[in-house]
Amino acid sequence: MNMKIANNENVDLKELALMKINFGDKLLELIEDFKDIEGSQKLYRKIGQELKFLKKAYKNNSIKKEHLQCSNLTHFSALIDTLKDVKTCQSINKIFTLEDRKIHVDIISDNGLTWIKVIARNPKSLSQICLGNGSYGVKSIIDQAEEYVKCAKLYPCLFQTPKIVFVFSNGIGSHIAAKLESYGITVKGDRLSDSPLNFDGSSESDESDQDDYMLQSPTNTADLSTENISNISKVNLDVSAMLAYCSSVTNGSAELLDFDVPVLKQQAEWERLRPQKPILDAVFEGKTLYCCETARDNFLNIVDTVGGPSEKVRAHQLLNRLIVLPDDADFRQTENDHKSHKIFEKVQYSDEKKLKPGGKIKERSLIIFTFGDQIQAVTVTANDGFVRAAKQQGIHFVVFIHESRALTEQKEKIRAIPLNK
């Protein structure tokens, strides 16, 4: 059962509202088939609340297009459609606690061994949120998957961790589906073509750390770099910058090889168009290079795990050029003069301006960016998702944004194709 709101501006809103109300009334009738299931009455009340609001707005002639587009009735309809296909359902809208958060599980079946989440959202919208382009506080489907996996482990049933199923009633991008499956989640719904996000769909655990830095959108990032930073003599390297600098693809292989891995193929094409090593060398020239201990340790872990022989040599050469300071260092511990730059007076990260982790604000990245702010350095990074998310919370870090590049040397042995000149 499904209902979509037409985008034709000529369609009368009151007519659409009446259709939506009738749609909701039918949902209430369908709920009767599941009245013996725990939580069904709660679902009945939620649908009733939606209808009460719509009926009141309809009666008062105050209905708006947003009321129809943002209604939860579409989600409830998808949930009921899923219920029809589920055998041995025990509960609807069950709530579990994960640390200080509540995790809502739409359907619990198979005597508690299966948790089902129903997603009726537009697949394009899901992809945009995964790229960090959603509103502040909106969690991506990947973030929700991580929470579900953690939560399920805390609530075993019959000595087993419940199986997790995500049902996408309107379909899901194939790359997002692959990422969800790498967490052990069963994905149901039409697979749609989409662009690679910040992962390549690989489920190999030894590459998961590098996946965090494989950000795939080089467009619309120029506006993120801070203006007038040429007079700042300190540079803080994010892990993404170190990876890009040492990658085989930025050190010549892009001119020789192509890849059958979509993310790496795309990066090689970008590298041939816009080589990143000269850009980074220009940023580093005449500057003192810093990184924090967290960045160094994370970088070395990735290099040791997925780096090739030449990439490992370049990684250690780069680290020899860096000054590594504790995560909590400030500008007084740097070798440069202790003069405070005015640009940092406007953005200084402090107890009064705390970022809230979640979504694109990962704890590891927060440490690295805060370190750059504390030592008053320009943070060089490809993590545009973090920078955008921070701006949404009112924090404008001093940054230079470049395109991401992954370590590729190991993949060149098995997944590369000689480039025909």
Q: 105 is in which domain, residue-wise?
A: 86-199
Considering the domain boundaries, does residue 111 fall inside one?
yes
Alpha-carbon distance values, 279 to 241, 271, 363 (Å)? 11, 11, 28
Residue 330 is predicted with a pLDDT of 86
CB atoms within 10 A of CB 326: 11
CATH of the domain at 119: 3.40.1350
The proportion of the chain whose per-residue pLDDT surpasses 90, expressed as a percent, equals 36
Same domain for 272 and 257: yes
Handedness of CA 229, 213, 319, 364 (dihedral sign): positive
Question: Which helix or strand (DSSP H or E) is residue 120 part of?
Answer: none
| Residues composing the chain | 421
**Pair of tokens at residue 116:** 């089902």
Lowest mean pLDDT among 97-111, 187-201, 233-247, 388-402: 187-201
Residue with tokens 């992962």: 199
Number of domains observed in the structure of the chain: 3
CA–CA separation, 369 and 361 (whole Å): 10
Same domain for 182 and 251: no
The more confident residue out of 224 and 155 is 155
**Closest by alpha carbon to 408, among 270, 275, 310?**
310
Residue type, 340: S
The more confident residue out of 120 and 335 is 120
pLDDT band at 158 (very low <50, low <70, confident <90, very high): confident
Lowest mean pLDDT among 79-83, 112-116, 125-129, 317-321: 125-129
Same domain for 255 and 140: no
Three-state SS at 411: helix
Residue 207 is predicted with a pLDDT of 42
Same domain for 169 and 194: yes
Average pLDDT over residues 376-386: 92
CA–CA separation, 99 and 146 (whole Å): 13
Considering the domain boundaries, does residue 208 fall inside one?
no
Same domain for 367 and 304: yes
Average pLDDT over residues 106-120: 93
Are 89 and 34 contacting, i.e. CB atoms less than 8 angstroms apart?
Answer: yes
Q: Which of 30, 50, 83 lies at the terminal end of a domain, its last residue?
A: 83
Same domain for 143 and 31: no
Residue 133 is predicted with a pLDDT of 56
pLDDT tens figures, 291-347: 999 999 999 989 988 899 999 999 999 999 999 999 999 888 886 655 666 666 656
CA–CA separation, 249 and 307 (whole Å): 12
pLDDT at 393 exceeding the cut of 90: no
The more confident residue out of 132 and 232 is 232
Same domain for 276 and 185: no
CB atoms within 10 A of CB 334: 19
Considering the domain boundaries, does residue 206 fall inside one?
no
pLDDT at 167 exceeding the cut of 90: yes
Are 164 and 185 contacting, i.e. CB atoms less than 8 angstroms apart?
Answer: yes
- Encode 63-87: b = buried (16+ Cβ within 10 Å), e = exposed: beeebbeebebbbbbbbbbbbeebe
pLDDT band at 204 (very low <50, low <70, confident <90, very high): very low
- Top mean pLDDT of 202-216, 310-324, 353-367, 396-410 is at 310-324
Same domain for 268 and 131: no
Same domain for 278 and 403: yes
Same domain for 52 and 102: no
CATH of the domain at 228: 3.40.50.1010
**Pair of tokens at residue 260:** 């059958």
Alpha-carbon distance values, 412 to 3, 50, 147, 258 (Å)? 48, 55, 34, 9
Residue 420 is predicted with a pLDDT of 67
Q: Are strands 416-418 and 257-259 parallel, antiparallel or unpaired?
A: antiparallel
Considering the domain boundaries, does residue 244 fall inside one?
yes
The mean pLDDT of the chain is 82
**Closest by alpha carbon to 170, among 118, 128, 131?**
118
Q: Which of 65, 83, 101 lies at the terminal end of a domain, its last residue?
A: 83
Same domain for 407 and 259: yes
pLDDT tens figures, 244-266: 999 999 999 888 888 777 777 87
Q: Which residues fall within 8 angstroms of residue 272, CB to CB, at 6 or more apart?
A: 254, 255
Same domain for 413 and 275: yes
User: How does DSSP assign 52-99, residue by residue?
Assistant: HHHHHHHHTT---HHHHHT-THHHHHHHHHHHHH-SSEEEEEEEEEET
Considering the domain boundaries, does residue 216 fall inside one?
no
Q: Which of 59, 83, 107 lies at the terminal end of a domain, its last residue?
A: 83
Are 234 and 288 contacting, i.e. CB atoms less than 8 angstroms apart?
Answer: yes
pLDDT tens figures, 42-95: 999 988 888 888 888 888 887 776 666 666 888 888 999 999 988 889 999 999
Residue with tokens 């990074």: 381
CA–CA separation, 105 and 92 (whole Å): 7
Considering the domain boundaries, does residue 211 fall inside one?
no
CA–CA separation, 198 and 142 (whole Å): 11
Considering the domain boundaries, does residue 354 fall inside one?
yes
Considering the domain boundaries, does residue 134 fall inside one?
yes
